[in-house]
Structure 1
Amino acid sequence: MRARKLSEELSSLSDVWKEWELRGAVFFSLALQIALICLGHRRKYLPHAWITVVTWLAYLSADSVAIYALGMISSMIREIKAGESLSKMDPHTELSTFWAPFLLLHLGGPDTISAYAIEDNELWLRHLLTLVNQAGLTVYVLVMAWTHPTLSFLAILILLSGFYKYGERVWVLRAASRKYFKESLAESKPRWRDSDKIEEECEVKRAEGYNAVPHQVIDINNEDAIMIDVTTAEFSSKKLSFGKDLEDQEYKRVAGTLLSASRLVDTSQRLFADHLFSMDERNSRLSILRGKHCAGDFKVIEIELGLIYDMFYSKAKAVYTRWGFICRLVVLFSICVALVLLSFTDKQPYSKPDLFLTFLLLAAAIFIELYALAHILFSDQRHRWSNSMGQYNLMSIKENEFSRWKLPKILQIEEMAVKFLYQGHADVTDDIKNLVLSKIKEMEARDVQKPPFPMMDRGNHALSRHKLLDQLKWSIELDFDMSILAWHIATELCYYLIDGLDSIKEKSLMGLHLSRYMLYLLFVCPSMLPARMGSIRFRDIIKPPGWHFDLPKFARDRPASGHNRRWRKPDISEEPHIAEIRDMLRNEVNHIAAWSASKEDQVEYMLNNGCRVAVELERVPRGWKWSVISQVWVEMLIYAAHKCKARDHAQQMQRGSELITHVWFLMAHYGLTEHFQIPLGPVATAEIIVNPW
């Protein structure tokens, strides 16, 4: 008797579990879609670890949960078919079958993220097979459960929308895959046109009152750039809501930047297909890009990379078209019709949890489509990258960091944990952009007589300019990773040895942040650097007894920077014996620099090199020292950007663009990459770009 009662209780619990398991799976699938559409594009400009982790988990789970829930509905229908007439389906089963096309809609994914990593685009064939399987399964469920005409008709509306959305996802994944992306650009050619035709169009434009010049693009700066077909009348009808005195100027600046980026992006995407360019194209691009302020150049690059990110990681290629916009409206209309008709359906037979989940699915689907439409309409004003650079400071790692972490050590992820704990971010300031752009322009000027591309410096030019090449040439001829480590240690030591003068401290921040950014690339994004950590490993550096540089207490025990905290020098203004502490540090640096470190002991060798560089830099006059350091780091950054492959830049864009990618893209616009290898032709005429009077 007791056994029978227990069996009945277990059977009842099993029925309850089956009923709520399906509801939970459908609700979880919906929650994942909301998370993806809200966070999918924010990872471009918010460098927070939790966004990356949540987006990654949601992307990996979304398809599996939707397929699992759809399989549960199918199993439910098969059980009913095997046991009794389908005409006797209970109300819960009727609404459950109505949820099936929503799961196909979820498999289509949001517009903001079609791929988490660039490798996901290569899986388009797998998604095509999934589309066929799951669409067929959904049709099977609806056909087998065709007992409620109203629900079945509404389900067909959602089914067609889901089939289109998933088909669209397969198409954009295929278009962004390596093979088909290259093939789509293989036949694209520069949009040069016959020079006689250009001359004729110039005459027409001059007659209309425009200032049009053939063979070259009018000098367009980033504050008043206007391209063809943007007239003064259009300005008056497209005002942005700025102050009366600034709205014209501000609109022209914004519109010019956007239009310049849109003009360049057609050919810029060919960089990621490893196409070769002519110097004619370089000149045409430069005539559009050149501006009065460096921030304008970086802004154009930011917009271009934002558009290219959308090509690789979102449905932009399908959405930002007339057909894509119309289909969005049709899908939205279909879901709204389903919601209205379902509202007039007799709801008495259905349970409140089922009705709540059904209307929640409809409301959420409408929200997702409205969100996607808003994303299309206001895409010009959204954030495109974080304007920050990762930071990593070797001196902030405490000696016994590994030993006190038990669980990470057991799981063998202690190295990952340390990297995560000590990773920070700093803003990419206008001073850094100025320095990068001036160095690129300087390289272009030096290389103008030596096409197709320059010999990349790794600090030679900066050291030569300040007459330090004889003393420090050895430090930039090391393996690239060892050179970064040596100069990073030297930069940190020089920063701690600054005594007084806030102006010097402020000037030093640029070199300090660039130093920590290059170390961040070395340890966190090594694929973007020419050195693949071949000579020294991260674990060897930070795991005792590897890292044993006995820094003074104020340096060793400063606050560790968290993931989102800005790196900063500790405030030691209240220390009673600052001069003595600095003298101690100088003596220790001089002592280590005098070692005869063996190359076999990589850590000792690295520390010795860093101290040797620091000693030489301490001899440089105070006004020059940080200029030397900053310029050496910029040349190292430019060298690394030049050596990094386009595919590696595209891969790293999944977490938002890195500064090194912006530098590489800017170099490409100035013709300083290996893509520009075709010499100048005898005749080259750019498209007309006109400036209204």
Structure 2
Amino acid sequence: MRDLQRLQVGAVNKTLSEATAVTKSLRTPKARLAKIEVLACVIAFLLMLLTIFGSSRRRRNNQKLRILLWAIYTLSSYLIIYTLGLMTEASFRNKLLPVWAIFLMIFFGSSDSYSVHSLEDCERWKNYVWQYVIKITGVSFLLVMSGITLPMISFLILCSLVPLKVIRRAASLKIASGYGRQTITKSIADYMSSEYQSSEGDLDPSQMRGYKYVVKVEKTCPTSLQKFKKREAAARWEAPNYRKPLEITDNVVTIERVWKCQGWLLRPEGGDKDNKLKDICLSFSLYKLLRLRFSGYSLTKPAHEKTWKLIQHLYAEGSGYERAFRVIELELSFLYDSFYTKYLTIFQTFGWRIKVIELLLLVIGVPVTIGLCFPWYDSNRPQDEVQLATTGGLSIDFLVTVLILLIFVCVELVQCFFMAISDWTKVILLCKYVRTNSWQESKLMEKLIGLICRTQLLEPWERKLQQYSLLESYAHTPPRWQYNVFTDLFMDPIRDGQRQSEPAKLSPDVKKPFFRSLMSNSGALQNGEASLIRNEMEHELSWACKLETQTQVIFVWHIATAIFEHEAPISDPTSDSNFRVATNLSKYLAYLVAFYPKLLPDHSYDSEYVFDGIIIEARRLLKGCKTIEERIRKLNRIGKTTNDTSKVMIQGAQLGQQLLDVENEPNFIWKVLAEFWAELTVYVAPSNNETAHAQHLARGGEFVTHLWALVSHAGIEREPLIE
């Protein structure tokens, strides 16, 4: 027995000794150096992923992708801080530590296409700057302790523009903040307050005559005399002269000037037969106007009426709804970039030039650094310096540094490529083309600009309609281990009944009815009743448009549409546009209520409360119904026999029964439903919650945001319901 105890004690002691030995080995200088090198490589790799896939979040409404990018964005920042701390606290010597530290500071500048994860990050721009000051202080201390050598000086020259990356990111955060938006849009807001007066009696949207909407202002370096005059004029400003002047000179490119350009590239009979090039400038000018809503500025009613005439013209040209949506898509892309990327600062007057200089220094400096510095470094390595093993005559330290350099070069080249084909570059080139006669006379320059402007590798948005079906998802219960009162503090809760269906493609058939609805109502919004009046169905069905909340209206019609879909199906749904419009929009508005009620007219919590009540109603009324067919039959019986009109589910069943009882053919009812859902979607589009729409731009965008931008330009507002 004692021998067994001695064996057990010996085994325990041996295990403890081995654990102690492993712990000590992890604390050796070589182990700490290996840890630093691994972390530096991981950070470089994360930056490369963020650069390549950063802009994908606006092109894909994918929660897993958003979580992955958020994890990379957040983790890389903490890893940089942690790795710099390991370097500054290291008790060993290694001449490459300052090199890696400098690159960590470069990575702290983040990627150009992913400067922030959310709008809240923009308001913390001062915090970001102070973090940089603290980090650069630690790196400077590390450089001093390591000693300044000739190779290190040459490397520092290569990285002399490193602070510009961080400063540029800080500037982009500041501009995207609330105060920054007000600052940069002040001159446009003041200019647009009187712009409409310059074209009274001489307005032609087909030629853009009278549309002096600003596209680009080419700023020049002011002379000392100009600076003095500007300060003198500012000193004389007194109330009420609070307007920030913006004079239309030769340096200002307007929409009217773009359309008047006689260069072959922009002529309809020349290189712009489909107006896509000119529309790039149009989208950029409209983006400037839309940005006013995020700054607390507003346009006058005549200014909105002028823009509404422009929208009507876009629709009037054949399949103009496609062109109008193309303009809005590109406009929202500019808006996304101004909030979530560095492009707004890069493409300022001198920003892109600095970017080109950075690229040149990178292309020249990296080979020089590798070719000249590292041979000197290997031949002058101190004997007591800690280094990892060598392989093939090359030290691991050298290989790690080369790997980091190569990743950095790849990241910069990819960012420059994205910048070269971006829509911002296209605007700059087109405006320069409009202002420069020599470019208009150069065939080579016209072909080059045309090639760049027509290059589009990816679609600007996902172009899908998210879907939700109440009758398919009301019984869904999320796993309680994942969504409960404790996890509510860490993630967005998923409530009972919240389960998305497969998204539907945003087809042209779905886009067209919105403009038809706007034009038929002369820009006035109605809660679906106008479509019923046009189809002479108001007496039978208008009661379902006069419910207490829009959430109830949406779900009553959603249930009725689902009943009619199953009881009166179309033989070939793919060829019936009314069927696709009605079913897709019905499930899309139900999706907005279930997942993003902030984009709808009702108070968001009211919508959530009503939705939860509808789920409870559905589970009670349809208890025991396992299939869609059983649920539809149960609702049909309820619609025929129940007189209670206090429940949304019962109201939906009764409306569905009314649709089935109409004597006309099913095709007529699908036409009524398609026009109704199109009109209701336009009705819910106006919103004063601009922030909610901006937040969803980083989540793949929502189709209702495109409609919101459209009606915002036209100054169309929703009238309160008359009870």
TM-score category of the 2 structures, normalised to the smaller one: 0.7 to 0.9
Question: Does residue 27 of structure 2 align to residue 14 of structure 1?
Answer: yes
Q: Distance in 2 between matches of 1:142 and 1:643?
A: 54
How far, CA to CA, are the matches of 2:197 and 2:323 in structure 1?
33
Q: CA deviation at 1:70?
A: 1.2
CA distance in 1, matches of 2:53, 2:306: 37
Q: Judging changes above 3 Å, is the alpha-carbon distance between structure 1 residues 196 and 176 closer, same or farther for their aligned structure 2 residues?
A: closer
- Please list, as runs of the form range in 1=range in 2, the aligned pairs for 1:237-252 lying within 5 A after superposition: 248=270, 252=274
Which residue does the alignment assign to 2:109?
108
Give 1:608's aligned residue: 650
Rounded to whole Å, the distance in 2 between the matches of 1:248 and 1:297 is: 22
| Structure 1: 5+ residue stretches without partners | 81-88, 203-210, 219-223, 237-245, 448-453, 557-580, 600-604, 676-693
Out of 437, 445, 460, the position equivalent to 2:515 is 437
Q: Deviations over 1:438-467 (max 9, x none)?
A: 112233x2x5xxxxxx4x311121122223
The answer as to 2:688 corresponding to 1:666 is: no
TM-score between the two structures when normalised by the length of structure 2? 0.74
Cα distance 1:657–1:396, how it changes in 2: closer, same or farther (>3 A)?
Answer: same
Give how far 1:116 is off.
Answer: 1.3
Determine the C-alpha separation between the residues in 2 that align with 1:281 and 1:477: 33
Kept after mapping to 2: 8 A contact 1:459/1:636: yes
Equivalent-residue separation in structure 2 for 1:441 and 1:103 (angstroms): 56
Q: Which has the higher contact order (CA 8 A, sep 6+)?
A: 1
Matching residue within 611, 617, 628 for 1:555 = 628
Shift of 1:424: 3.0
Q: What aligned pairs does 1:98-497 form with structure 2 within 5 A after superposition?
A: 98-155=99-156, 157-158=158-159, 160-188=160-188, 189-190=190-191, 215=210, 227-228=258-259, 230-234=261-265, 248=270, 252-286=274-308, 288-289=310-311, 290-291=313-314, 292=317, 293-336=320-363, 337-344=365-372, 345-346=374-375, 348=378, 351=388, 352-380=395-423, 381=456, 382-397=458-473, 399=475, 401-402=476-477, 408=483, 416=494, 422-443=500-521, 445=522, 454=524, 456-478=525-547, 479-497=549-567
Q: How big is the shift at 1:181?
A: 0.6
* 2-structure distance, mates of 1:404, 1:217: 56
Aligned with 1:653 (options 691, 697, 702):
697
- State which drifts further: 10-19 or 297-306: 10-19
Letter in 2 for 1:342: I
Q: Which region of structure 1 is more displaced relative to structure 2, 372-381 or 411-420?
A: 411-420
Q: 1:6 to 1:372 in 2, by over 3 A?
A: closer
Farther off after superposition, 367-376 or 343-352: 343-352
Matched with 1:207 is none
1:26 aligns with 2:69: no
Partner of 1:242: none
Paired AA for residue 332 in structure 1:
L
Whole-angstrom CA distance in 1 between matches of 2:304 and 2:618: 52
Q: Deviations over 1:478-522 (max 9, x none)?
A: 211111111111111111112453268653121111011111111
Q: CA, structure 1 residues 467+674, in 2 after alignment: closer, same or farther (shift >3 Å)?
A: closer
CA distance in 1, matches of 2:538, 2:332: 36
**In the TM superposition, what is the alpha-carbon distance from 1:105 to its structure 2 partner?**
0.9
Residues 1:148 and 1:175: Cα distance change in structure 2 (over 3 Å) = same
Aligned position for 1:595: 642
Give me the whole-angstrom Cα distance separating, in 2, the residues matched to 1:438 and 1:490: 24
Report the Cα distance in structure 2 between the residues aligned to 1:500 and 1:668, rounded to whole angstroms: 36
CA separation of 1:548 and 1:32: change in aligned 2, threshold 3 A: farther
Give the distance between the partners of 1:547 and 1:412, measured in 2 at CA: 28
Query: Over the residues paired in the alignment, what is the CA RMSD in angstroms?
Result: 3.6
Partner amino acid for 1:527? K
User: Alpha-carbon deviations, 1:274-303, whole Å to 9, x = none?
Assistant: 422134433543454422121001101111
What is the alpha-carbon distance in structure 2 between the residues aligned to residue 46 and residue 488 of structure 1? Answer: 26
For 1:385 and 1:358, how far apart are their aligned partners in 2? 38
Structure 2 CA distance for partners of 1:544 and 1:61, relative to 1, 3 Å: farther
Q: Partners of 1:30 and 1:663 in 2: how far apart?
A: 40
1:36 corresponds in structure 2 to 50
CA contact (8 A) 2:496 2:612 kept: no
Q: CA deviation at 1:606?
A: 1.9
How big is the shift at 1:36? 1.4
Separation in 2, partners of 1:508, 1:149: 74
3-state SS, counterpart of residue 390 of structure 1: strand
Compute the displacement of 1:191 (Å).
6.0
Closer/same/farther in 2, CA of residues 593 and 63 from structure 1, 3 Å limit: farther
Distance 1:5 1:521, change over 3 A: closer
CA distance in 1, matches of 2:52, 2:497: 27
Partner of 1:450: none
Deviates more, 1:529-538 or 1:98-107: 529-538
Question: Cα 1:125–1:4, aligned 2, differ >3 Å: closer, same or farther?
Answer: same
Q: Residues 135 and 163 of structure 1 are in contact (CA less than 8 Å); yes or no, is this contact kept in structure 2?
A: no
CA distance in 1 between partners of 2:288 and 2:174 (Å): 19
Distance in 2 between residues matched to 1:466 and 1:139, nearest whole Å: 75
Name the SS of the counterpart of 2:191 in structure 1.
Answer: coil
1:551 Cα deviation after fit:
8.8
Specify the alignment match of 2:452 in structure 1: none
- C-alpha change, 1:510 and 1:5, in structure 2 (3 Å) is closer
